[in-house]
Amino acid sequence: NAGVTQTPKFQVLKTGQSMTLQCAQDMNHEYMSWYRQDPGMGLRLIHYSVGAGITDQGEVPNGYNVSRSTTEDFPLRLLSAAPSQTSVYFCASSYSGKHTEAFFGQGTRLTVV
């Protein structure tokens, strides 16, 4: 049981480049989310999804796009990378309903130069 798998683990981008961070889960969870973690800031929600075909913005969505074509996958796209997007990105998934725990991937450390 792999849980939540994120790829790549590390990435360096040049300003203006685009890329997609991959997230896949094998637990048949309905809910999936993307967070970014910056030093001293805790985790902040970027985008989330309550099921295939349904996504919505979180706290810091600007500069990012998501889609959810399958239950398993929830990719995060950086449209035109900026140094301010240097961060560690975490994908999480959970069952639907209240009072369920979130399962996190190991993170993608992104540096934009």
Partner 1 sequence: SQQGEEDPQALSIQEGENATMNCSYKTSINNLQWYRQNSGRGLVHLILIRSNEREKHSGRLRVTLDTSKKSSSLLITASRAADTASYFCATDRGSYGNNRLAFGKGNQVVVIP
Which residues make up the interface to partner 1 (CB under 8 A)?
4, 31, 33, 35, 40-45, 48, 50, 58-59, 90, 92, 94-107
Nearer to partner 1, 18 or 111 (CB): 111
CB of 1 to partner 1, least distance (A): 15
Cβ closest to partner 1, residue 79 vs residue 103 = 103
65: number of Cβ within 10 Å: 14
What is the three-class DSSP state of 101?
Answer: coil
* CA 52/CA 92 separation, integer angstroms: 15
Taking the least distance from each CB to partner 1, the nearer of 37 and 65 is 37
* Residue at token pair 């240097």: 86
